[in-house]
């Protein structure tokens, strides 16, 4: 994992084109996002009245306006942050900030009597410096999001102590896990030679599945308390539901989500016959047992239709395509020189190429969102087949009301950003399924 110094003798003395292309890509991508966000912001602002269809769903004018104001505040803040960050990061690129820090890392290692030409040492030092920079910038933004925006709309339940605890634990986990993963990644690329993309795919697959085992069992409990659901009507009903659809539910947990937010959720994790169902305590307060069964039946529909594996395969395809294409640029010295680097490094190379890959990742991301929305329709249909359509509809309405969701978003915005169909789209589809069933 040694860093290769670039020999400039046989290269054309013009290396600005790659950086210019990346800057153009960044500008175009952010202009598209800005246009989409402005469409949504325009829909959220002003004296927009509640659409007629919502009045038929037991949604009050207060519920509708509350969701609009919450989403407007979040979107305005997010747009300002995105614009400032984009301009700032672009200026850093123009003025060769990254190569300066990369070279500075070499000096730090030399002063510590460590091998400055060792790619892993320098890459990890670079990561630590960038993590510190992100911490300084993002911490005030996260604080404002939680203690101003979320607090204003009644969702924040964090205390300053919890905020600091979450920040410190997240930082420690990030630093700790990056060390072996970065070392393994660079070693695999070095070992793989011309076919490194295949070995990287295998390595990332292993890391992802290991993290899927580690996260719910060891990391999530660092942030929340998980308690087994007590015996009673709800637990009996969930077990009965799981048995009726052959879902291998091993245990059912309640998580104290209310310690940090009043938002609600439900999910399951685990492989094969060791599935664990997790319910947020906020969900139990907001819904009836029948509505919880309907939502869980929807989640079990994802399992029955193999949506987890379909999503995993899509992510793997994205990863493979990026690293396969990176192979064609990996040793192009002009790319590194155009950004101000005087040596070739896999770590820097993939960082630069990921920006060049943005147009492809943009379209793949939109395709993934479309697939995700289609999966939600399938899971809804699955719940409908087991007679949970009405309770699922009522549960969806409550979820949207309690979480102040945007009940009437701009169609282009939802197409670009939503992993789920809008509430109206899902309710309409469920109505149609009920009519077909009857």
End-to-end Cα spacing for the chain: 66
Spatial CA neighbour of 312 closest among 422, 207, 195: 207
List strands edge to edge, sheet with 226-228.
226-228, 249-255, 275-280, 266-269
- Residue carrying the six token digits 């919880």: 292
Query: In what helix (H) or strand (E) does residue 344 lie, and over which residues does it extend?
Result: strand 343-344
Positions marked catalytic: 299, 380
Cβ-proximal residues to 40 (8 Å cutoff; 6+ apart), any chain? 71, 75, 409, 410, 413
Residue entry with tokens 């290396």? 15
Beta-carbon contacts of residue 80 (< 8 Å; ≥ 6 apart)? none
> What torsion do the CA atoms of 193, 196, 202, 204 make, to the nearest 10 degrees?
120
Q: Which 3 state secondary structure label does DSSP give 287?
A: coil
Contact 225, 255 (CB under 8 A): yes
Beta strands of 197-240 (E only): which ranges? 226-228
3-state secondary structure (DSSP) of residue 5: strand
């Amino acid at each position: 994992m040694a860093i290769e110094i670039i020999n400039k003798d046989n290269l054309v003395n013009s290396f600005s084109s790659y950086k210019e292309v990346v800057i153009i890509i960044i500008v175009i991508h952010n202009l598209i996002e800005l246009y989409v966000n402005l469409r949504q912001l325009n829909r959220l602002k002003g004296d927009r009245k509640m659409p007629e269809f919502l009045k038929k769903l037991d949604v009050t004018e207060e519920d509708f306006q509350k969701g609009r104001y919450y989403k407007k505040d979040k979107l305005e803040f997010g747009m300002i942050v995105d614009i400032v960050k984009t301009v700032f990061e672009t200026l850093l690129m123009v003025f060769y900030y990254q190569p300066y820090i990369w070279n500075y890392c070499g000096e730090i290692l030399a002063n510590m009597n460590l091998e400055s030409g060792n790619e892993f040492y320098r890459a990890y030092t670079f990561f630590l410096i960038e993590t510190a920079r992100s911490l300084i910038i993002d911490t005030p933004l996260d604080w404002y999001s939680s203690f101003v925006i979320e607090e204003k709309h009644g969702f924040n339940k964090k205390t300053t102590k919890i905020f600091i605890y979450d920040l410190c634990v997240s930082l420690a986990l990030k630093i700790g896990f990056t060390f072996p993963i970065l070392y393994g990644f660079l070693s695999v690329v070095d070992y793989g030679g011309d076919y490194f993309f295949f070995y990287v795919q295998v390595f990332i697959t292993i890391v992802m599945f290991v993290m899927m085992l580690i996260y719910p069992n060891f990391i999530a409990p660092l942030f929340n308390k998980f308690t087994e659901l007590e015996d009673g009507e709800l637990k009996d009903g969930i077990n009965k539901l799981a048995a009726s659809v052959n879902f291998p539910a091993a245990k059912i947990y309640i998580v104290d989500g209310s310690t940090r937010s009043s938002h609600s959720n439900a999910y399951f994790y685990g492989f094969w016959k060791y599935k664990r169902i997790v319910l947020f305590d906020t969900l139990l307060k907001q819904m009836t047992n029948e509505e919880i069964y309907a939502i869980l039946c929807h989640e079990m529909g994802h399992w029955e239709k193999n949506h987890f594996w379909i999503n995993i395969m899509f992510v793997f395809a994205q990863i493979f395509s990026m690293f396969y294409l990176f192979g064609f640029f990996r040793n192009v010295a002009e790319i590194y020189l155009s950004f101000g680097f005087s040596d070739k490094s896999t770590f820097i190379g993939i960082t630069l190429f990921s920006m060049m890959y943005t147009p492809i990742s943009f379209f793949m991301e939109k395709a993934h969102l479309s697939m995700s929305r289609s999966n939600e329709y399938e899971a809804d249909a699955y719940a409908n087949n087991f007679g949970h359509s009405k309770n699922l509809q009522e549960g969806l309405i409550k979820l949207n009301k309690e979480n102040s969701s945007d009940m009437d978003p701009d169609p282009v915005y939802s197409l670009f950003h939503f992993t789920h169909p809008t509430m109206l789209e899902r309710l309409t589809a469920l109505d149609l399924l009920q009519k077909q069933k009857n």
